[in-house]
Every structure is written in C-alpha cells, then in structure tokens.
Amino acid sequence: MRDTSTHRAGIIGYPLGHSVSPAFQQAAFDALGIAARYEAWETPLERLADRVARLREPAMLGANVTVPYKQDVLALLDDIEPQARRIGAVNTIVNSGGRLTGYNTDSAGFLRALQEEGGFDPRERRALLLGAGGAARAVAFALAQAGAKGIAIANRTPGRAESLAREIASLEVETEVIPWEAEPIGALLWYCHLVVNCTSIGTAHGPTEGLSLVAAELIPRAVLVCDLVYNPPLTPLLKEAQRAGARILGGLPMLIHQGAAAFELWTGRQPPEDVMLAAARKALGVTSS
C-alpha cells in the first residue's frame, strides 16, 4: 500500500453544494485507519488548470472530477488510461510521484449498479440517454461494450450527441440522435427498455432543482428509468417514473461503485463499500433502505 500519511484527496467540480463524496470517501479513509483528508474543491473554470497542477504535490493522492470538468481535465494530465481515453472523459486522477494519470471509473460503476442494483442486463436491449457530456459518454460506452442493441441520444447541443453516436457506432451498436424536446423523447421511450438521465437536471441546490426532463404521461411502465443524479435520492424524474408505474434506479449505487474504484486506485486498498454507502446515505438524510 502507498504511504498515505498526512495525504489529501478531493473532488473537483463547480458547483459542489450537492456532493456527498467528501462524506463517504473520508469515512472510507477513517475506517481503514488511513491518515488522509478528503476535501471539496469547488473550482471555477479559470482556476481549473491551477487546481489540477496542485495535485502533483507530494501530499496529494489525487482527485475525483465531476460536472462540468470530466472532459476539460484531459488536456491537463500526463497520461490517460486506455478506457478513459476511449470514452473521452476522466472522473478520477491519480498522482504518482508528481505524474498525473486520468481514469474513468464511471463506466464500470454504472454497469455494476445497473446489473446489481437495477437487475438489468443491457445485452440486446435499447436505451435512451439524456445528455452527451462526460457522464453520458461513460454510460454510452458501458452499454455498448456490454452488448446493447441500440442507443439513442438526446442533447441540447445536437453536435455533441452526433459525435458520441459516431464513436459508439464503432462498437457495433445501433445509434440514433433525437431532438431535445419532450415529444420525440416521449415517443422513443416506447421503443426503449432503459432511459438514463446523464445530465445534472434535478440536482439539489442547483439551478434546475425540482425539474424533470420527462413527465409521467410519457413514461411507459415497462421501461427502467435511471437517474445519475443522486441528490436528492428520489429525483423529480424518478418521482415521475414512479407515478407512471415504471421501475427506477437512483444515482447512489453508481456513485458508491465509482468512488470505491477511485479509492482503490489512490490507496491500493480494498474499499469498505458498506461504510461508504452508510456515510453517503447519512449525508443525504436517508434513514431507510
């Protein structure tokens, strides 16, 4: 195991008022007796390069990266792990002797949550992704590599959706880009088995708090509705899905799985996922399973 005495790690993003990563990552360090501090580093864009450069300091283990910087940090790193390079997004940075390597633990974290907590096998299934940013890229590659039959993408900026669709098409999955409007999204849902909100819409303490991309009237009962937003645990979209009688999967399982993988990359230790989950649920005010 690496010497982590008096070391630091943190999460880089903007804003960070919703994040519970400091709560559950610190709980993991404490549970294993590792003398390291995990902090929230809310960083405006003009300070991003400086914040990443500071990760080279000997005391730094590395960082998690969240919205909106999962793609921006690529140019600031020395090395990119192959899966992260393929996805084109980084959510974990590891400092090794002043050299920074970027990883993507979102992809495997999402697939694990989908299969274990969601009970969903994406093979030969069709999915609709809402968004085309860093999180959506991780989800798209995870689904395509797991054998999904088709992936449709809706995004405010069509060009980003088209670019992502072209990239995953090389993995022998059918792709489609649809308009960022309720009517085409709702129409396509009837042909999908899974819909994933990969945007920050509905996040607590943010400008879209309380908003849902899709109303209950547009959600079929047979579709699994997944929201990567984890704060609040029951997002506006998931509430609409419940009204429609559809199955739901919140963002907390993926958050823990990707965070645990990052923890292992920093420390070389097996992460205590039960401790991490309990700490995250406490921070979110969740008192029942």
Residue from 91, 74, 73, 82 nearest 21 by CA: 91
Q: What angle do CA 72, 11, 131 make, to 5 degrees?
A: 50
Catalytic positions are 70
- Beta strands (DSSP E) in 71-209 are 79-80, 92-96, 99-103, 126-130, 150-154, 174-178, 194-197
Residue from 234, 177, 230 nearest 66 by CA: 230
C-alpha–C-alpha distance, residues 28 and 279, integer Å = 9
C-alpha–C-alpha distance, residues 69 and 283, integer Å = 24
Q: Please state, in angstroms and as integers, the Cα–Cα distance from residue 121 to each residue in 131, 148, 149, following that order.
A: 22, 9, 11
Residue from 63, 119, 69, 51 nearest 92 by CA: 63
- Beta strands (DSSP E) in the chain are 7-13, 36-42, 60-65, 79-80, 92-96, 99-103, 126-130, 150-154, 174-178, 194-197, 224-227, 247-249
Residue 119 one-letter amino acid: G
C-alpha–C-alpha distance, residues 57 and 96, integer Å = 10
How far the first Cα of the chain sits from its last, in Å, is 34
